[in-house]
Structure 1
Amino acid sequence: MHVLCALVLCVVLGGPAPAQVLYGSLTGNVTDASGGAVPGARVEALNAGTGIAKEAVTDDRGAYLFTDLQTGAYKLTVSAPSFRTVVQERVAVNANTVVRVDTHLEISQVAESVTVTSEAARLQTDRAEVSAQLETSQVTDLPITAGRNFQQLYKLIPGASTPADAHSDAGNPQRALVTNFNGVSRSNNNTRLDGATVSYPWLPHIVAYVPPAEAVETVNIVTNSFDAEQGMAGGAAVSVAIKSGTNDYHGSLHEFHTNSALKARNFFFLGNQTPKNIFNQFGGTFGGPIKKNKLFFFGDWERTVRRQNASAFRTVPTDALRQGDFTGTGALIYDPDTGSPDGSGRQLFADQRIPASHIDAAAAKMIALIPAPTLSGFANNYFATGTYEFNRDNFDFKVNYNPATRASMFARYSISPSDIFDPPSLGPAGGDALAGGQPGRAPGRIQSAAVGGTYTVSPRVLVDCNIGFTRQRLGAQNVDIDKNYGLDFLNIPGTNGPDRLQGGYPRFIIFGYSSIGNPNVSNPFLFRDNQYVTVGNVGWVKGSHSLRFGGEYTYYTINHFQPQAANGPRGGFNFTGGLTALRGGASPTQFNGWADFLLGLPQA
C-alpha cells in the first residue's frame, strides 16, 4: 500500500494567475490607438459551444483575466464608451494553458464593432513551463496504428522516445504505451484523466485507462519547468480531457477493420497461406444539451475485437516413448533401482524398454492428455495451433452543469471490461500460452470517475476542486483452475490447496520436452488496485499580483494475489534425466528426462 499527501503553494508575481490543470485561462491588455491603457473596459468571453458567458472589467493597467475556463472555442468581445467594440472570433482555450489576446480599441463617435477572425498567438508567453498540446483534430485525423491509442502521438513531442508496447494483454488490457521524456525514467510520468489519476501503481510506466481517440478533447503534456500543481512527475505531466456536450447535438460513428485477406503472405509460408488475423474496432460518440446553456452530456462507446492465429512448434513424445520403448533413440536408459545410491553401477533396462508395471500412475494419466506428434523426429515434432481472442469495451459518460455564471461543475464515469483468451499450447495437457501471454482466460475491468467544479467568490477570488477515483480489477486463470487436478485426478499429495485460486494442474518440466500442466508460475493472478485523489485550489488576484494556493491528497492501494514461488501453490516437478543416467557415464539426454517422468522420479 502506498499513500501520498502533498500540499503545494504556487505564487506568481507580476503576471496572470497560472492556468489550472483541468481548465484554461484567457488574459490580455486593452489599449487605445496611442498604446495607453483603457481601464474599465468590459470584456466578455462566450463559449461558442455551450453559450456560457463570463465577464470581466479591465483594471488600471488595462489588463483583464479569465480563469477556470472550460476548454473550447470562445468569442471575445471588448467594449468601452467612445470606442469601437472589438469581437475576436474562435479563440481556442485548452486545459492547463494561458491564452493571451491583446486588443487595441479605436475611438468612434457612433456605435460600431470590428470583428477579428485571425487566431490568437500560439507562442506561450505567460508561463515558463515547456508544454505541448494535442488537440481533437490531431488525435482523430493523424494516422495512428491499429488500436488508435492517442499515446502514439507522443512521438510528435520534442524529447519523447518512440512509444512502445509493454507487458501482456492480461496485465495491460488497455494496451497503454511506454514513453520516456528528455531521458528521464519512463516511470516518472504522471497522467490524469479529467483530474483523476490513472497511473498504474504496480507498473508505474504505463497508465490504467486509455480512452478512445474519438472521445479525447485535448491532451496537454508538460515536459519541463513544472508548475507546483503538477506533482508526481519528473518526465511528463499529462492531462487528458474527455469531450463535453454543447448546445448542439453531435454524434459520430467509426470502424477500423483489418483481416488476413488484406495482409500480404509471409514469404516463408507455403502456398497462399495467410493465418487468421482479424482486428476490428468500432464505436460511436454522441453529445448535446439536456438544458441549453445549463446542462450538457457526452457519451461514447468503443469495442475492440481481435482474433489471431497463434501457433508454435512443440516437442512431444512419440507413440513408442509413451509406452516406455526407447529402441531406436540411441539413448542409454538405466534402472534407478539398481547400482549404488550415488548413481554408479546402474544396469540398463532390458531391450531399452521400461516395463509397463514401472510407469507411474500420475505420469500415465498425463501422457493420455498429451497430443500425438504431427511431424517426424524427436524434437519440434508437434505443430500447435489455436485462436487467440481479445475483447474489450470502453464506455465514457460525462455531464457538465453550469447552475450560474459564477459556478460550474462536471462529473465523468468511465468503465472498460475486457476478456482475453490465450490457449494452452498442448490442449488438455496444458503447456505454455500459444500467444506468449497468460495461459487461459484473463478477465478484467477498469473503472475511472472524476467530479470537479469551480466557483467565483469575487472578481478577485476563485476556487476550484476535483476528486478522482480509478480502480483496476485484473486477473488471469488457466482453463483448469476449477478442479484440483493434482490432488484429485493425479493423486499427488501436497499439490493444490483449499482456495479456488490454487486449483489446476501442477507444473511438469521435462528436460528436452515442452512443459505440461501449468508452467506459468505467476498464474493465476488477481489484482485489485485503487487510486484516490482530492485537489483543492484558491486563486487570488491582488493588483498586479496573482497568487494560487492549493493542496492535493493522493491515496494508493495495491491488493494482489499472485504466486511468486518457483512452483506456486499447485506444486511443480522437474525431471532432469539424472535418475536414469549412469554416474560417470554420458550426460543425460532428453530421453533420460522422459524416462524420469515415466518413472515418476523428479529431482526438484
Structure 2
Amino acid sequence: MRKLQLFISIVFLVTAVGFFQNAYSQVVTTSSMYGTVTDDKGEALPGANIIALHVPSGTQYGTSTRADGKYNITGMRVGGPYKVTVSFVGYNSQSIENLYLELGQNLKVDFKLSESAIQLGDITVVAEKDAIIRSDRTGTSTTVRRESIETLPTISRRIEDLTRLTPQVGRNMTFAGMDNRFNNITVDGSYFNNSFGLAGLPGDRTGVAPISLDAVEQIQVNISPFDVRNGNFVGAGVNTVTKSGTNEYSASVYYNFRNNTFVGKNAGDVEFKSGTFKFGQFGMRLGAPLIQNKLFLFVNFEDDKLTQPGTTYIARPDTSTPVGGNVTRVLASDLDALSNYLKSNFGYDPGPYQGYDFETPSTRFLMKLDYNIDNKNKVSLRYTHLDSFTDLLVSNSSSLGFGSRRSSTQALNFANSNYKILKISVQSLVNGTQFLLIICQITFIVGYTL
C-alpha cells in the first residue's frame, strides 16, 4: 500500500510539472531546515521524530530522519521564533528555541541525543548564528527582516529605500549595472512587475508604493541565486513576503506627514526655494486568530495624498524683468491675452499658467487569510488593491518651437494642457502547500492580476 501511494504521488508530481512547465516559474516564498540526528557516539539515529513549531501561530512542521540520520523540512513560514524538538525511543528529547528563518534560507540544525538511561532531563539549547559566514547561504543575496523594516529610516515608504542595503544596487533600484526593467519583482511568489513597461518598478507610473511597508514581513534581493526556483531576471530578483496573522492579536494605527517646512532653505550661500508642498498618510493594520493554531487573518489599509507645485516657473511680468532662474521669457500679458481669447471665442478655459498644484492620492488595501488544514496541508489567500492617480505636465516634446514646451525658461504651458495617469491594480492569490510522504512537497500558486 505504501509503495502504491508513493507511485501515485510521483505520477501526480510529474504530471503537475509537465502541465505547468510553460506557465509561471516557481518563486521561493518559504524557508526550510535540514540537519542530522546522532547519538552521543556520533552514530546516526534513523526514524527520529522532528517537530518544528512556529511559536506565534502554532503552525507545526514534522518529519523523521532517514536511514543516514538526516532530515529535511521544507515549506516553512519565514520569520519565527521557532522551537524544534527531536525525540527518539530510548533517548532524551532535545529542543532548540529562538530560531528565526529568512526568506529562501535552508537552515542547518543538528542534534545529538543522549540515552535516557543516563537519567538526564530535557536539554534546551539556544542557537546563535554568524550573520556574515553562513554555510546555509548559497549565491549572492541580501535579506531584510521585519526588525530592519520597522527600524530603518525611509522617506518614500517604498521597498527601494530598503533594497539599498544590497551592495550591488545602483540608482533607481538598478542592480549589477542592469536597467531596473530587467528585475523580477514578486510578492508572495506572484509576479508584481510593472506591466505597462515604461517603468521598472510597481507603482512607478504614479510614483506610489503598491503595498504598504507595514504589511511586509521580509524582502530578499537575489543577484546570482543557486536555487533554480529563483529566475526570470537579469538584474535581480526582488522577492517580498507579506505578513500573516498569529495566535496573538496585534494592531497599529499611524499617521505620517511632511511639508515644505521640513526642507532647508539654504545650500551653503545659495538660497533654495522648495515651493509649497504637503504630504499626509494614514494607515492601520490588524492581525488576529480566527481559529487558534488553524486560521489567521491579516488586514492592512493605507491612504495618502501628496500636494505639490505643478511648476515653479513663472511668466515674465514685463520686458524689463530679466529672464533667468524660474522666470521664463514668456510675458504674462501674452498668456493672459491668449487665455481671454480662448474663453471668449471658444468657451474654453485653459486654466492658470502658474501657481497651481498637482495631486497624487493613493489608496492601498491588503487582506490575507492563512489556514493550517493539518500538519501536511496549508493554504493562503491574499487580496491586494491599489487605486492611485497623478497629475503630469504636458509632454516636453522637442518637435515644436524652441524644442521645449515647459520646465524651462523658454516656455510655459497652461494647466489644462496637462494630463493625469491612472493606476488601478488588483491582485488575488491562492498559495497552497501539500506534503506527500516525507520525500516530496508540492507548492501551487494561482494568481489573477487586473
Under TM normalisation by the shorter chain, which class is it? 0.7 to 0.9
The answer on whether the counterparts of 2:52 and 2:61 sit within 8 Å (CA) in structure 1 is yes
Name the amino acid aligned to 2:140. V
Name the amino acid aligned to 1:395. F
Partner of 1:35: 42
SS of residue paired to 2:373: strand
Aligned residues: 392
SS of residue paired to 1:385: coil
Partner of 1:462: 441
Aligned counterparts, 1:542-553, within 5 A: none
1:52 and 1:419 map into 2 onto residues whose CA distance is: 40
Name the amino acid aligned to 1:144. T
2:300 and 2:447 map into 1 onto residues whose CA distance is: 20
Partner of 2:265: 265
Q: Deviations over 1:265-286 (max 9, x none)?
A: 3579999987322122221111
The one of 182, 186, 190 aligned to 1:196: 190
TM-score (norm 1): 0.58
User: In the superposition, relative to structure 1, how do residues 362 and 134 fare at CA in structure 2: closer, same or farther (>3 Å)?
Assistant: closer
The one of 68, 81, 84 aligned to 1:76: 84
The one of 145, 158, 167 aligned to 1:149: 158
The answer on whether the counterparts of 2:95 and 2:123 sit within 8 Å (CA) in structure 1 is yes
The answer on whether the counterparts of 2:350 and 2:417 sit within 8 Å (CA) in structure 1 is no
User: In the superposition, relative to structure 1, how do residues 458 and 279 fare at CA in structure 2: closer, same or farther (>3 Å)?
Assistant: same
Aligned counterparts, 1:273-284, within 5 A: 275-284=275-284
Q: Which has the higher contact order (CA 8 A, sep 6+)?
A: 1
Could you tell me how far 1:468 is from its partner in structure 2?
A: 1.8
The answer on whether the counterparts of 1:322 and 1:367 sit within 8 Å (CA) in structure 2 is no
SS of residue paired to 2:89: coil
> What is the aligned-residue identity percentage?
24
Aligned counterparts, 1:107-506, within 5 A: 107-109=115-117, 110=119, 112-120=121-129, 122=131, 123-126=133-136, 128-145=138-155, 147-162=156-171, 164=172, 179-201=173-195, 202-203=197-198, 205-208=200-203, 210-265=210-265, 275-310=275-310, 311-314=312-315, 315-316=329-330, 365=345, 384-421=354-391, 432=413, 439-471=418-450
1:260 and 1:362 map into 2 onto residues whose CA distance is: 35
CA RMSD, aligned part only? 3.6
Q: Deviations over 1:150-195 (max 9, x none)?
A: 2222221121214x2xxxxxxxxxxxxxx22222343221011112
User: In the superposition, relative to structure 1, how do residues 114 and 265 fare at CA in structure 2: closer, same or farther (>3 Å)?
Assistant: same
Partner of 1:50: 57
Could you tell me how far 1:421 is from its partner in structure 2?
A: 3.8
2:336 and 2:165 map into 1 onto residues whose CA distance is: 58
Q: Could you list the runs of 5+ residues in structure 1 that have no partner in the other structure? A: 11-18, 165-178, 325-360, 373-382, 472-604
The answer on whether the counterparts of 2:263 and 2:274 sit within 8 Å (CA) in structure 1 is yes
Could you tell me how far 1:257 is from its partner in structure 2?
A: 1.5
2:302 and 2:42 map into 1 onto residues whose CA distance is: 53
TM-score (norm 2): 0.77
Partner of 2:325: none
1:135 and 1:99 map into 2 onto residues whose CA distance is: 15
SS of residue paired to 1:184: coil
More displaced, 363-372 or 136-145? Answer: 363-372
More displaced, 148-157 or 42-51? Answer: 148-157
Could you tell me how far 1:34 is from its partner in structure 2?
A: 2.9
1:305 and 1:284 map into 2 onto residues whose CA distance is: 16
The answer on whether the counterparts of 1:220 and 1:238 sit within 8 Å (CA) in structure 2 is yes
Q: Deviations over 1:440-484 (max 9, x none)?
A: 44433111221110111212222110112222xxxxxxxxxxxxx
2:52 and 2:248 map into 1 onto residues whose CA distance is: 19
Could you tell me how far 1:48 is from its partner in structure 2?
A: 0.6
1:467 and 1:417 map into 2 onto residues whose CA distance is: 23
Could you tell me how far 1:54 is from its partner in structure 2?
A: 2.1
The runs of 4+ residues in structure 1 deviating greater than 6 Å are: 267-274, 320-324, 361-364, 423-426
